[in-house]
Structure 1
């Protein structure tokens, strides 16, 4: 259970020091270091030293590729094979038609659940909850620029890597269900090498 907590924390927060991890998990720094050493030996996490001014470098821990694989990627291998087969036999246009049909269904499904929420923040909160149930480990925050919707995991990452249409469809869906009164921009993208996908949501009258 402790191991899962460590991996989950690094997945949602990104690189952290042993002291920061200990504070977040309410354990001793020594206890955190022991667990981190074990996870490093198992190949699930890695560390890097960063120099920030005078003094000893600070050691940061993050997930390795193997550590990230511990989080679900929905039927990744089968999905990739099906996408490749569709491209080869039916062509790009047919694949895009399937993605578009899925987008329309998602819009309708999300809209039904968001209609009951009147304020923008309530709609964003509900959207994050829906996405979390779908495996995206989503959360949101509010700041002086508007809102930031973060997805710490992508359960269809393997499919998205070989077909960017899935990512475009996702953004289109968000824009549709949150309404014309907001601007939505993707500011982080897992496919581009970022740790997470994140969307800046700004009310047009903000």
Structure 2
């Protein structure tokens, strides 16, 4: 029978960032010893790394996180093809041609998301629906509400990261998409960005009335 433990550990580290073995064990309902065994195997495979961080008196705390190879484990298998296609479009049709294609993709996304979100519901319900859509699209998305009433939409994985590196317009289109489908009553701001070196992409969403 296949052992899915290591895969689950990778998913937790992707979603949460650096964690101790004890924290990982609590996430996955296993002992710290069990989590540590998985981590040691993943470390040997080059998928995770660790840092011993001292906090006051006592033994240092070992924090585990994904290595570059571990992050690549989540990448889309067709990432190289997407980058090559973008480069080919620019060579063949120039920057204006690429801009037209991105605009057409953006219009399709807006139509699909608007259809899925519908017209009704308050900002909380719409943010949750949007999060569900992004999760379906492979972004490992989650959302949480702040005490001030605003929302945080977090994407722990970007399936188009490689293509976005080759074409920054894709990231701009994602931000515009969120603003379009949430409507004029919401304001969307990107506060973390994977391509900028952050662990995830995160968007703060607030009601314009707030």
Q: Normalising TM by the smaller chain, what interval?
A: over 0.9
Secondary structure of residue in 1 paired with 2:59: coil
Cα distance in structure 2, aligned partners of 1:48 and 1:100: 43
Q: Would you say 1:65 and 2:68 are equivalent positions?
A: yes
Of the three residues 30, 36, 40, the one matched with 2:33 is: 30
Cα distance in structure 2, aligned partners of 1:60 and 1:124: 32
Cα distance in structure 1, aligned partners of 2:136 and 2:154: 14
| Residue matched to 1:180 | 184
| Residue matched to 1:45 | 48
Cα distance in structure 2, aligned partners of 1:201 and 1:74: 31
Q: What CA RMSD, in Å, does the superposition of the two structures yield over aligned residues?
A: 1.2
| Residue matched to 1:131 | 134
The answer (yes or no) to whether the contact 1:72–1:135 under 8 Å persists in 2 is no
| Residue matched to 1:164 | 168
Q: Would you say 1:122 and 2:143 are equivalent positions?
A: no
Could you list the structure 1 runs, at least 4 aligned residues long, displaced by more than 6 angstroms after superposition: none
The answer (yes or no) to whether the contact 1:44–1:63 under 8 Å persists in 2 is yes
| Residue matched to 1:201 | 205
Cα distance in structure 2, aligned partners of 1:178 and 1:74: 31
The answer (yes or no) to whether the contact 1:74–1:155 under 8 Å persists in 2 is no
- What is the deviation of 1:116? 5.0
Cα distance in structure 1, aligned partners of 2:172 and 2:85: 19
Q: How does 1:81-160 map to 2 (within 5 A)?
A: 81-115=84-118, 117-145=120-148, 146-160=150-164
- What is the deviation of 1:52? 2.6
Secondary structure of residue in 2 paired with 1:91: helix
| Residue matched to 1:18 | 21
- What is the deviation of 1:74? 5.2
- What is the deviation of 1:153? 0.5
Note the alpha carbon deviations across 1:1-46, whole angstroms, 9 max, x for none.
1111100100111110011111111111111111111110011100
Q: Would you say 1:7 and 2:10 are equivalent positions?
A: yes
Q: Which moved more, 1:70-79 or 1:12-21?
A: 70-79
Cα distance in structure 2, aligned partners of 1:52 and 1:95: 51
Gaps of 5+ in 2: none
Q: Which moved more, 1:19-28 or 1:8-17?
A: 19-28
| TM-score computed with the length of structure 1 as normaliser | 0.96
| TM-score computed with the length of structure 2 as normaliser | 0.94
Aligned residues: 206
